[in-house]
């Protein structure tokens, strides 16, 4: 396991323990000269002139008009006037981190991609997580799909795995993408709503386009309100190809499995967090990395030999379908660790430019019509977003591999290419740079030689025709709690739809085909009649449920990085509080001591205990669990409305609520019903029960009792 002291991208590679690393490091350093540190430096203009006065513009007299010749002010304001670039058309709200990928072994039978051959090789990565609908400043915890884009800086060029936290997509063909995005984005007349899909145009579109049914049920599930970016699965969505040195191809689906577990917020929490901490996910990732709780994911693939392409009851090229893991298990390939926060949000996270078309030898596309359209769209969008075709020269996008070619000039060219021949072949510059023929290793890129014999037509394959059976499989694979959340999410979202015919169409023509009970429950909450039957014949799948789809089966390996609030007040038993903190820190839990205010509290033995924040400043929604510190402080907390709300809210959100012995009477007085997550005690046993409850993430058995507690 990487230690807390693990090195960031540059210094990770700075080790000279293997020639490979030293080599990569040299390349990296040449790119990193643009990282600038102003410590000890004079304030200067962009032209390098030292500035004597940065407070006053040049004027004719102290009260006189400003002078046009003030080149210092003009430069400063001109630059400021142009600081913004267009935000991404989708996925505008995002956050990034650096890290590395390490292969578990040599995967030569599967692919010749160099970064998947050697467990010693450290491949730097940059990851950007995002929401889809909202603008750059929108909330982190809205109900939405999350982007999960990874740029691997491999020795053979950049490989971008531009995925989401859901394994399917809303549409089957890229030609529908602008329609889908226009429907989900804020409505054009009033630009409402920000960051969500609970509005007429979204539901109008998806209720008219049944191929969206599977993705929409994922979006109505807990997956769309992840607890943290660290607790999301990632998916490449499309079927890709991996090609080995012999040219043998396998179909694959990429998966990222988080070691931290696949955990979600509750809807009430998500809504409250959107107001109380707009940056909740961003902050969580940042703090986890800063405190050495480096998030880790396992990269795996589901492998389907070419010969088995047609063995499934769905089409591998259809991006609205999963391959159930019970049919094809995920083969682990390696791990990704995020261990360094960016130095500069704009330069790195905002300017990073992903494209599914960035692949390396050993990886190739399939004819998935959604993927094919994406191959065009991303580079195209970077040209207007980043101001021209040289966006690959922006430091965060530069490959570690050299990139000599005859492409030249254009806006913002940075590289000073030497030589006279910007064409190939040439006899002037010795013929350089030259082509590299394909080879088993280190050869030039060669597309997989797929035989195509077809008519040029605009047509959807019949094999893409079943839109409901996998949505049904998803619903039937959920636990009762997860199913209830799905019912509530549809009801909430459709409840915001003004036009009744749209609500009714979603219920009768989409939900009824997924599951009649689901449709009936949503209909009841909308005041609509329950549909008696679906509108299409849905094929019956051999698989009745896929346990891999339920988050209940992915609670994570440990409680490392989970967040606990320790409530204290004057009179607290300092020794007990200290013991608890030590026990939790031993499990790498992040603990925040919260008091009635931000001022330190007095312990029973007359010492002071520093607090991290007030209970108002860091509300219960920001935590996984709460512990009330023992001693006389409990009496003070009892009379504090904010503390009472803190406990009730944590209880309502099914979090472990615990405390030292004195807290028990308080919990009883609040009418909290006993369960496996309501704990009190001073001994090691109580702490153990608490950490075990945190490991289960929520006290699901409490869900019914918690409904009675006011929100």
Phi-psi region of 631 (alpha: psi -120 to 50; beta: other; left: phi over 0): left
Q: Does 164 bind ligand HDD (CB under 6 A)?
A: yes
Q: Does 240 bind ligand HDD (CB under 6 A)?
A: no
Q: Does 633 bind ligand HDD (CB under 6 A)?
A: no
Whole-number Å distance between alpha carbons of 611 and 594: 5
Find out whether 9 is annotated in a ligand binding site.
Answer: no
Give residue 393's Cα distance to chain centre: 25
Q: Does 374 bind ligand HDD (CB under 6 A)?
A: yes
Q: Angle CA(615)–CA(552)–CA(255) in degrees, nearest 5?
A: 105
Find out whether 505 is annotated in a ligand binding site.
Answer: no
CA distances, 628 to each of 121, 581, 583, 656 (Å): 47, 12, 15, 11
163/324 with CB nearer ligand HDD: 163
90/706 with CB nearer ligand HDD: 90
Helix (H) or strand (E) holding 14: helix 9-14
Q: What is the DSSP letter of 509?
A: I
- Asked whether 237 and 164 are in contact (CB, 8 A), the reply is yes
E-strand spans in 518-674?
563-567, 590-595, 601-602, 608-609, 613-614, 625-628, 657-659
Nearest to 669 by CA among 693, 700, 638: 638
Q: Does 316 bind ligand HDD (CB under 6 A)?
A: no
352/693 with CB nearer ligand HDD: 352
Q: Which of residues 46-105 bind ligand HDD (CB under 6 A)?
A: 88-91, 94
185/655 with CB nearer ligand HDD: 185
Find out whether 378 is annotated in a ligand binding site.
Answer: yes
- Among the listed residues 201, 244, 372, 377, the single contact to ligand HDD using CB under 6 A: 377
Find out whether 651 is annotated in a ligand binding site.
Answer: no
220/611 with CB nearer ligand HDD: 220
In the bound complex, what is the minimum distance in angstroms from residue 118's beta carbon to ligand HDD?
Answer: 28
Find out whether 374 is annotated in a ligand binding site.
Answer: yes
Q: Does 375 bind ligand HDD (CB under 6 A)?
A: no
Q: Does 467 bind ligand HDD (CB under 6 A)?
A: no
DSSP-based three-state secondary structure for 276: helix
Q: Does 226 bind ligand HDD (CB under 6 A)?
A: no
Q: Which residues are catalytic?
A: 91, 164
94/656 with CB nearer ligand HDD: 94
User: And the tokens for 474?
Assistant: 């998803």
- Among the listed residues 100, 115, 159, 177, the single contact to ligand HDD using CB under 6 A: 177
- Among the listed residues 93, 121, 128, 358, the single contact to ligand HDD using CB under 6 A: 128
Kindly compute the dihedral angle of the four CA atoms of residues 91, 92, 98, 100, in this order, to the nearest 10 degrees: 10
Q: DSSP letters along 313-349, please?
A: SS-TT-TT----TTTSPEEEEEEEEEEE--S-IIIII
Whole-number Å distance between alpha carbons of 645 and 616: 10
Q: Does 162 bind ligand HDD (CB under 6 A)?
A: yes
Kindly compute the dihedral angle of the four CA atoms of residues 49, 409, 387, 25, in this order, to the nearest 10 degrees: -70
- Among the listed residues 139, 157, 163, 631, the single contact to ligand HDD using CB under 6 A: 163
236/334 with CB nearer ligand HDD: 236
In the bound complex, what is the minimum distance in angstroms from residue 72's beta carbon to ligand HDD?
Answer: 35
Q: Does 249 bind ligand HDD (CB under 6 A)?
A: no
348/573 with CB nearer ligand HDD: 348
For 629, residues 6+ apart whose C-beta sits below 8 A from its C-beta are: 566, 567, 568, 572, 573, 576, 577, 580, 659, 660
Helix (H) or strand (E) holding 12: helix 9-14
Residue nearest to ligand HDD (CB): 147
Q: Does 149 bind ligand HDD (CB under 6 A)?
A: yes
Among 69-77, 190-198, 348-356, 621-629, the segment contacting ligand HDD (CB under 6 A): 348-356
Helix (H) or strand (E) holding 519: helix 516-526
Q: Does 194 bind ligand HDD (CB under 6 A)?
A: no
In the bound complex, what is the minimum distance in angstroms from residue 289's beta carbon to ligand HDD?
Answer: 18
Q: Does 127 bind ligand HDD (CB under 6 A)?
A: no
Q: Does 383 bind ligand HDD (CB under 6 A)?
A: no
- Asked whether 292 and 248 are in contact (CB, 8 A), the reply is no
Residues that bind ligand HDD (CB under 6 A): 88-91, 94, 128, 130, 147, 149, 162-164, 169, 174, 177, 237-238, 319, 352-354, 370, 373-374, 377-378, 381
Residue positions forming the annotated binding site: 88, 128, 177, 374, 378, 385
């Amino acid at each position: 396991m990487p230690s807390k002291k693990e090195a960031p991208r540059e210094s990770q590679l700075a080790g000279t323990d293997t020639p490979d690393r030293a080599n990569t490091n040299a390349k990296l350093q040449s790119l990193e000269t643009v990282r600038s540190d102003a410590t000890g430096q004079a304030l200067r203009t962009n032209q390098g002139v030292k500035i004597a006065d940065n407070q006053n513009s040049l004027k004719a007299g102290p009260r006189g008009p400003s002078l046009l010749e003030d080149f210092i002010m003009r430069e400063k304001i001109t630059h400021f006037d142009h600081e913004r670039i267009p935000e991404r058309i989708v996925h505008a709200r995002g956050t990034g981190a650096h890290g590395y990928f390490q292969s578990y072994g040599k995967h030569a039978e599967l692919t010749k991609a160099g970064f998947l051959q050697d467990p010693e090789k450290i491949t730097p990565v940059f990851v950007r997580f995002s929401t889809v609908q909202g603008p750059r400043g929108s909330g982190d915890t809205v109900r939405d799909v999350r982007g999960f884009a990874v740029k691997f800086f491999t020795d053979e060029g950049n490989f971008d795995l531009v995925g989401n936290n859901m394994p399917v997509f809303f549409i089957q063909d890229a030609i529908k993408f602008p329609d889908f995005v226009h429907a989900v984005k804020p409505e054009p007349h009033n630009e409402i709503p920000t960051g969500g899909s609970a509005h007429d145009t979204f539901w109008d579109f998806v209720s008219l386009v049944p191929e969206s049914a599977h993705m929409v049920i994922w979006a109505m599930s807990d997956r769309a309100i992840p607890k943290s970016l660290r607790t999301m699965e990632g998916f490449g969505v499309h079927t890709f190809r991996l090609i080995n040195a012999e040219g043998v191809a396998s179909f694959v689906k990429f998966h990222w499995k988080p070691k931290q577990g696949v955990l979600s917020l509750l809807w009430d929490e998500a809504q409250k967090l959107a107001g109380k901490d707009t940056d909740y996910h961003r902050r969580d990732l940042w703090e986890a990395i800063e405190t050495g709780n480096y998030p880790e994911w396992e990269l795996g693939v589901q492998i389907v030999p070419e010969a088995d392409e047609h063995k499934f009851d769905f089409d591998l090229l259809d991006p609205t379908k999963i391959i159930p893991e019970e049919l094809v298990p995920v083969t682990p390939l390696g791990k990704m660790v995020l261990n360094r926060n960016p130095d500069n949000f704009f330069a790195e996270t905002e300017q990073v430019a992903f494209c599914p078309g960035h692949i390396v030898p050993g990886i190739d596309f399939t004819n998935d019509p959604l993927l094919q359209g994406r191959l065009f769209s991303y580079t195209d969008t970077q040209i207007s977003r980043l101001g021209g075709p040289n966006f690959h020269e922006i430091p965060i996008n530069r490959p570690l591999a050299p990139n000599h070619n005859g492409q030249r000039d254009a806006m913002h060219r940075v590289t000073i290419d030497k030589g006279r021949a910007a064409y190939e072949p040439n006899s002037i510059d010795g013929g350089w740079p030259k082509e590299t023929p394909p080879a088993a290793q280190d050869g030039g890129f060669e597309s997989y030689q797929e035989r195509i014999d077809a008519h040029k037509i605009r047509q959807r394959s019949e094999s893409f025709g079943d839109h409901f059976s996998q949505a049904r499989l998803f619903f039937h694979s959920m636990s009762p709690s997860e199913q209830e959340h799905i019912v509530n999410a549809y009801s909430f979202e459709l409840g915001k739809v003004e036009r009744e015919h749209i609500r009714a169409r979603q219920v009768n023509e989409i939900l009824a085909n997924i599951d009649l009970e689901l449709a009936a429950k949503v209909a009841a909450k909308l005041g609509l009649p329950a549909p008696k039957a679906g509108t299409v014949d849905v094929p019956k799948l051999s698989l009745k449920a896929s346990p891999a789809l339920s988050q209940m089966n992915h609670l994570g390996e440990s409680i490392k990085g989970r967040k606990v609030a320790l409530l204290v007040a004057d009179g607290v038993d300092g020794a007990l509080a200290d013991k608890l903190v030590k026990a939790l820190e031993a499990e790498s839990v992040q603990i925040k001591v919260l008091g009635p205010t931000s001022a330190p509290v007095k312990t029973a033995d007359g010492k002071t205990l520093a607090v991290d924040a007030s209970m108002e400043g860091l509300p219960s929604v920001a935590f996984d669990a709460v512990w009330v510190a023992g001693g006389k402080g409990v009496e003070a907390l009892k009379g504090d409305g904010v503390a009472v709300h803190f406990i009730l809210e944590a209880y309502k959100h099914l979090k472990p609520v615990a405390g030292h012995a004195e807290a028990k009477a308080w919990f009883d007085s609040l009418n909290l019903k006993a369960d496996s997550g309501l704990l009190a005690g001073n001994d090691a046993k109580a702490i153990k029960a608490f950490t075990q409850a945190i490991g289960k993430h929520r006290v699901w058995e409490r869900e019914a009792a918690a409904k009675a507690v006011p929100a």
